[in-house]
Structure 1
Amino acid sequence: MWRCPLGLLLLLSLAGHVALGAKQGRVRRELAPGLHLRGIRDAGGRYCQEQDLCCRGRADDCALPYLGAICYCDLFCNRTVSDCCPDFWDFCLGVPPPFPPIQGCMHGGRIYPVLGTYWDNCNRCWQAGNHSAFWGMTLDEGIRYRLGTIRPSSLVMNMHEIYTVLNPGEVLPTAFEASEKWPNLIHEPLDQGNCAGSWAFSTAAVASDRVSIHSLGHMTPVLSPQNLLSCDTHQQQGCRGGRLDGAWWFLRRRGVVSDHCYPFSGRERDEAGPAPPCMMHSRAMGRGKRQATARCPNSHVNNNDIYQVTPVYRLGSNDKEIMKELMENGPVQALMEVHEDFFLYKGGIYSHTPVSLGRPERYRRHGTHSVKITGWGEETLPDGRTLKYWTAANSWGPAWGERGHFRIVRGVNECDIESFVLGVWGRVGMEDMGHH
């Protein structure tokens, strides 16, 4: 296993702050963000004490690197927004710090903050960062409000898998991206806000791409997650979670309109408020097609066409089969387990880092999510091994991860991402193709 040079410990800071030079003068220092503002603190770290620094007046060179930023040990640090080192109050002033210390964990004789992501060996490094969308949220709230796919029942998990047969000698490319094969037909990641509705968002995202591909670009709708959240109410809980099989049943039997026609309304995490009522119903027109019985909830849009799909099918969990399906028919939907470190993903090839194994249960919570897999690739590591990955679109907006997308280790069922993968065909008739 490849080791970092000199056993270097790679620290991926959660603070996300740019390291400010220690001697950049008063103005820059007053603009420095407060290190303790968001509760990211190093417990028990020896900073002022270790260096026996200053503790008096104002001295910009009484500075130490801390969590990707700079912390200070002079009295000037103790202002309304503090950039003092964690042991400043205790060591310099002899008073307890103004925040409850969070205990760190020992590693190699040093104490590290519990929220960091650390690797001794750099063979699977991915970047963590702090996302403004999650500021002020606990892990519990993140799992409660940002996921929202209920793990399928054993009946659905035992759903018959459709096995894709690779022809003898068939070789799949080492890299593939749906947006390159089908330009302008693969839609950008959505943003579910604080609505635990990934069941509706990932379903709408996959269906949008597949209807566009299967109609050869004659129809390119961004389908409405809100239509599913508000109207697919049979054993579904809207922004409090739902099931993928129910979502696909609704898309096949009832259909949904575009996102323009029925825009997303539920970003709030107000559990007391009633769920918004369904404002879009459809009726049969014969031959299985349906039409809307109401105008668009968005009064500026007239096009209330109903889009439908054929019955959903489950793929085998072999990565080659998923790859072949993706390359031939378009993006697929995947269930995945989200752990605490996934919220902090900023880039690279993700794999779950068990940094919080020794932590209390509340730091190790995880929940079920669903995403859209759009492609794959591989990277060569410094030791010559190959790391294979999927590319996927999340529904946490474009500011999260790699412009709303992420890469995750492929071929080892990382976070269960290969265990339950679904495909579907857009329901496209000759009349939809412009042949009247």
Structure 2
Amino acid sequence: MYLRDPGNPRGVLQGHAEEVEYGRGGRRDKRNGDGGGVGWAADHFCPSLHGYGCLTWNMMLDFPQASWNVISSLCQPVVPSEGDNLAPVTLAGVRRGDLHPDAVHPGFPVSLIGDTGGLFIMKLFLLTVAALLLLVVGESTAERILSRRTKRELASPLHVGGIRDPFGSYCERRGGCCPGRDDLCTVPYLDTICYCDLFCNRTVSDCCPDFWGHCLGVEPPFIGTCERNGNKFLSGQTYKENCNLCTCGTTGRWECEQNACLMEPDIINAVNRGNYGWQAANYSQLYGMTLDEGIRFRLGTQRPSRTIMNMNEIQMNMDAQTDSLPLYFNSAEKWPGKIHEPLDQGNCAASWAFSTAAVASDRISIQSMGHMTPQLSPQNLISCDTRNQGGCAGGRIDGAWWYLRRRGVVTDDCYPYRPPQQTPAEVGRCMMQSRSVGRGKRQATQRCPNTDNYHNNIYQSTPPYRLSSNEKEIMKEIMDNGPVQAIMEVHEDFFVYKNGIYKHTDVSFTKPPQYRKHGTHSIRITGWGEERNFDGTSKKYWIAANSWGKNWGENGYFRIARGDNECEIETFVIGVWGRITMEDMHNHHHHHRRRHN
């Protein structure tokens, strides 16, 4: 087919197409229509809406007098600049044979690129025929249609960087604006892009700074700009300050959320300036979270029920041994290679599973005299212990011990931890089942989720026992049998602990109530010690392992005041024995040797 425009003074070229695709949902239809065409302009156009259907095309036109870039757009008229000298245009080489005059006219908004300086046959490349058919009755109808398209799927909003040149030339430098919605109508802007299409006006955040003045000829919808770190922001633009989102208001002032942040600089500075006996730090892995999110996602142990709290405490015969307890004791030094390193629960409220698995791992290693040193799997508990448990939304340690006793778990290497992405936290399908093989013992019925590991032995415990809240009895239990599990209350300042002997401070007492919150956590106590003060007094402390990774605290551990039930850490303390027989140790030792030979 041959299309020709012998020199229309307004540069209008009539083109025709049959197949129409409208919207982004992929529905195709064939319709007839008339009107429309190509509006030529050297730099920019003013959009308006009229009652006809249209197509959107992407193409490049080369012809003797000039080279034109065709912009993909909704078909809306383009008013050429005064004084433009538009050359006669002939379109040839159309590849589609089904084009005919009674189909819908396509619109070709274009912008002048420059003089080509040569004579050659103009080529028409249809890179995309992405058609958008708008059947509109008038301007108000079109406005209603466009108003339903309120979100750009692939938009890259102007965020955080600020407006360094709020009144610079972006759409003007581009050489043209685009009517309707065109996700290719962009200009590089800082480390992102901004838009020069009419749709950007639906969300102020992704328009180029000069869109309103250059493309629409109107004043911008914002009154002023906001400044931050030497950068200017337009009204409606945002940046995030720690855990709070700040928005540039129409008055030129920042409007910020007032959340209490997990990493609160005022609290960190107050602790470090005060004489509290410990130091605080700003942790990058916790920065940007609110205090509410930290308590919700970084703890995860539910307080025991009244029935569990009334468990009988075991009776210890302390007699003269009480005086023989050393000033300092560390399980890792008494049982080298048998005390496991702290893990990181991430944003998964499952300290109930991490502390249980850690204590059981240490106790089995000690009890087996090192023949069995499993790092038991918290994920096995999180995914499979679902009876009245919440996985990454919190759980009870008594439920965890029930599961470890009655069902058992495999190692962390066999069933590795899968931290939840961003928002916690799917429990995940249980991928490890077991069956009874008699005498209370269990055997795995599935292979390891980690297919590189074939060692799917099930490890179990005996019923846990509760210790007295007397610090001497807790110390003796740790020295004789290994680390214990404890429940504690975590306050807002504990998250920023770096080193020293922790005690809850009053640094947030002058702040609003949302800065003073606490939640229940469970940890593993591995030892104790004393620190002498300059005045001759001493500070007693527990050595405890957290589950926030080795980059937190003292290599994943913390020290906390001992003997006065700081943060209720001595209220509910648990010990346990592994379910181990000589046959288990023999089989494990034989299997271990076979794997390494």
Q: Same fold (TM over 0.5)?
A: yes
CA contact (8 A) 2:486 2:523 kept: yes
The Cα offsets for residues 281-326 of structure 1, whole Å up to 9 and x where unpaired, read as 1111111111001111111110000000111000000000000000
- After TM superposition, the score normalised by the length of structure 1 is 0.74
Q: Which runs of 5+ in 1 are unaligned?
A: 1-36, 38-74, 81-94, 105-111
CA contact (8 A) 1:103 1:113 kept: no
Listed as ranges, the matches of 1:17-416 within 5 Å are 78=230, 113=266, 116-118=269-271, 122=275, 124-168=276-320, 170-271=323-424, 274-416=426-568
Once residues 248 and 424 of structure 1 are traced to their aligned partners in structure 2, the CA distance between those partners, rounded to angstroms, is 9
Helix, strand or coil at the partner of 1:221 = coil
Once residues 207 and 429 of structure 1 are traced to their aligned partners in structure 2, the CA distance between those partners, rounded to angstroms, is 16
The Cα offsets for residues 119-172 of structure 1, whole Å up to 9 and x where unpaired, read as 7863x3210010111111000000000000000001101111112221225420
CA contact (8 A) 2:268 2:280 kept: no
Helix, strand or coil at the partner of 1:132 = coil
Q: Report deviation, 1:267.
A: 3.1
Once residues 126 and 351 of structure 1 are traced to their aligned partners in structure 2, the CA distance between those partners, rounded to angstroms, is 8
Q: Give the paired residue count.
A: 341
CA contact (8 A) 1:315 1:422 kept: yes
- The counterpart of 2:574, out of the listed 418, 422, 425, is 422
Q: Indicate the RMSD between aligned Cα atoms, in angstroms.
A: 2.6
The Cα offsets for residues 368-401 of structure 1, whole Å up to 9 and x where unpaired, read as 0000001000001121111000000000000000
Helix, strand or coil at the partner of 1:161 = coil
Once residues 259 and 446 of structure 2 are traced to their aligned partners in structure 1, the CA distance between those partners, rounded to angstroms, is 57
The Cα offsets for residues 48-94 of structure 1, whole Å up to 9 and x where unpaired, read as xxxxxxxxxxxxxxxxxxxxxxxxxxx996369xxxxxxxxxxxxxx
Helix, strand or coil at the partner of 2:507 = coil
Once residues 354 and 525 of structure 2 are traced to their aligned partners in structure 1, the CA distance between those partners, rounded to angstroms, is 13
Once residues 301 and 429 of structure 1 are traced to their aligned partners in structure 2, the CA distance between those partners, rounded to angstroms, is 24
CA contact (8 A) 1:376 1:389 kept: yes
* Compared CA separation, residues 161 and 96, structure 1 to 2 (3 A): farther
CA radius of gyration, larger in: 2
Q: Which runs of 5+ in 2 are unaligned?
A: 1-159, 161-226, 233-250, 591-597
Once residues 492 and 438 of structure 2 are traced to their aligned partners in structure 1, the CA distance between those partners, rounded to angstroms, is 48
Q: Report deviation, 1:98.
A: 5.3
Once residues 375 and 472 of structure 2 are traced to their aligned partners in structure 1, the CA distance between those partners, rounded to angstroms, is 28
Once residues 96 and 390 of structure 1 are traced to their aligned partners in structure 2, the CA distance between those partners, rounded to angstroms, is 52
- After TM superposition, the score normalised by the length of structure 2 is 0.54
Q: Report deviation, 1:432.
A: 1.9
Once residues 450 and 462 of structure 2 are traced to their aligned partners in structure 1, the CA distance between those partners, rounded to angstroms, is 27
CA contact (8 A) 1:249 1:311 kept: yes
CA contact (8 A) 2:385 2:400 kept: yes
Helix, strand or coil at the partner of 2:509 = coil
Helix, strand or coil at the partner of 1:388 = strand
CA contact (8 A) 1:391 1:408 kept: yes
Once residues 79 and 171 of structure 1 are traced to their aligned partners in structure 2, the CA distance between those partners, rounded to angstroms, is 66
CA contact (8 A) 2:259 2:290 kept: no
Once residues 549 and 533 of structure 2 are traced to their aligned partners in structure 1, the CA distance between those partners, rounded to angstroms, is 30
Once residues 312 and 390 of structure 1 are traced to their aligned partners in structure 2, the CA distance between those partners, rounded to angstroms, is 21
Once residues 375 and 272 of structure 2 are traced to their aligned partners in structure 1, the CA distance between those partners, rounded to angstroms, is 40
Helix, strand or coil at the partner of 1:230 = helix
Helix, strand or coil at the partner of 1:392 = strand
Once residues 261 and 102 of structure 1 are traced to their aligned partners in structure 2, the CA distance between those partners, rounded to angstroms, is 44
CA contact (8 A) 2:268 2:282 kept: no
Once residues 392 and 161 of structure 1 are traced to their aligned partners in structure 2, the CA distance between those partners, rounded to angstroms, is 21
Once residues 103 and 300 of structure 1 are traced to their aligned partners in structure 2, the CA distance between those partners, rounded to angstroms, is 45
The one-letter code matched in structure 2 to 1:216 is M
Q: Report deviation, 1:426.
A: 1.0
The higher-RCO structure (CA 8 Å, 6+ apart) is: 1
Once residues 125 and 413 of structure 1 are traced to their aligned partners in structure 2, the CA distance between those partners, rounded to angstroms, is 17
Helix, strand or coil at the partner of 2:319 = coil
Once residues 120 and 132 of structure 1 are traced to their aligned partners in structure 2, the CA distance between those partners, rounded to angstroms, is 21
Q: 1:56 is matched with which residue? A: none
Once residues 378 and 99 of structure 1 are traced to their aligned partners in structure 2, the CA distance between those partners, rounded to angstroms, is 49
CA contact (8 A) 1:103 1:114 kept: no
Once residues 503 and 316 of structure 2 are traced to their aligned partners in structure 1, the CA distance between those partners, rounded to angstroms, is 27
* Compared CA separation, residues 379 and 283, structure 1 to 2 (3 A): same
Once residues 308 and 413 of structure 2 are traced to their aligned partners in structure 1, the CA distance between those partners, rounded to angstroms, is 32
Helix, strand or coil at the partner of 2:383 = helix
Once residues 206 and 101 of structure 1 are traced to their aligned partners in structure 2, the CA distance between those partners, rounded to angstroms, is 41
CA contact (8 A) 1:334 1:422 kept: yes
- Which segments of structure 1 move beyond 6 Å, counting only runs of 4 or more? 101-104
CA contact (8 A) 1:218 1:432 kept: no
The one-letter code matched in structure 2 to 1:318 is N
The one-letter code matched in structure 2 to 1:386 is S
